[in-house]
Structure 1
């Protein structure tokens, strides 16, 4: 004789499954680091821990160059921080870029000039922050899904601001730090809409290093 599972047990099972899923993919919120927009050039240490030489960056699409202006992946990961805000990566698919990915492949563990190791933090400038006009005109990223070597491990919520912001991946990486040849991917899953263009842009996106 087949026994019927009580409804309340089924509900409990669903709740536990949901909690387990949430634990596997926690939601991480960024924090605004600077009190001024990126185009102000009033930098005060926002990029001192950024170490772009440690990873090779690529994206699943790129907007075609226009009038000599390029929108390549390397634009958001430059080692020359003086030119950071004048360029941006812009996705190149129809629509808002949902599903497009930014890929970091680890090629070095330590920064060039100091023995600082890749950490679990990220420095980020949302949108096309060349100036207020370009920032408002284009989409900005609202939420990213993060993958490590193809496995989904977290979601990141980003602030809709042209100011430098940071987010820490905490125990997700601190307990098991990145090594050479590992791949971290960030998938765009939600955006803040621009006033004019349905193109999503990122000005700066770098993993950081620490002593």
Structure 2
């Protein structure tokens, strides 16, 4: 569709009407999201809140896959292995407290998916990621 973008900035825009969608052929296992912490001081993360799939409408949710397994890294160190449900509500996943510093890279790697076969495409989406 013209005028719709699925870029990584959609993940933290506070809107359920936008989403990040992986852009490869297939379900997107192995694709990743990389965020750079641009704060000015260290920050301790205790968990991740995720709106999994494309939650904008029931149709957009059905037409897109969602993440089942998501691995979180800080720089190159794995810090959490999250198992997510295929629901439109926000899911909160607690993790062991992890401190990040300015410039650190947070990487979320898709480990497994639940396909959304309603339209025959194999796109996997995440609507929002919020760290706390």
Report if TM-score (shorter chain) is over 0.5: yes
Is 1:74 matched up with 2:9? yes
What pairs up with 1:1-211 in 2 under 5 angstroms?
A: 66-78=1-13, 81=14, 84-108=15-39, 118-171=44-97, 173=98, 177-195=99-117, 196=119, 197-208=121-132
Runs of 4+ in structure 1 displaced over 4 angstroms? none
CA contact (8 A) 2:74 2:100 kept: no
Please report how far the alpha carbon of residue 91 of structure 1 lies from its aligned counterpart in structure 2 after TM superposition: 0.6
Matched residue SS, 2:16: helix
TM-score (norm 2): 0.89
Higher relative contact order (CA 8 A, sep 6+): 2
Note the residue ranges of structure 1 that are not aligned, 5 or more in a row: 1-65, 111-116
Q: CA RMSD in A?
A: 1.5
TM-score by length of 1: 0.58
Contact 1:118 1:207 in 2 (8 A): no
CA deviations 1:115-164 (Å, max 9, x no partner) are xx553221110000011111011100000122221123331101110001
| Length, aligned pairs only | 129
Structure that is richer in strand per residue: 2
Q: 1:105 to 1:155 in 2, by over 3 A?
A: same
Partner Cα distance (2:101, 2:73) in 1: 15
Q: Which has the larger radius of gyration?
A: 1
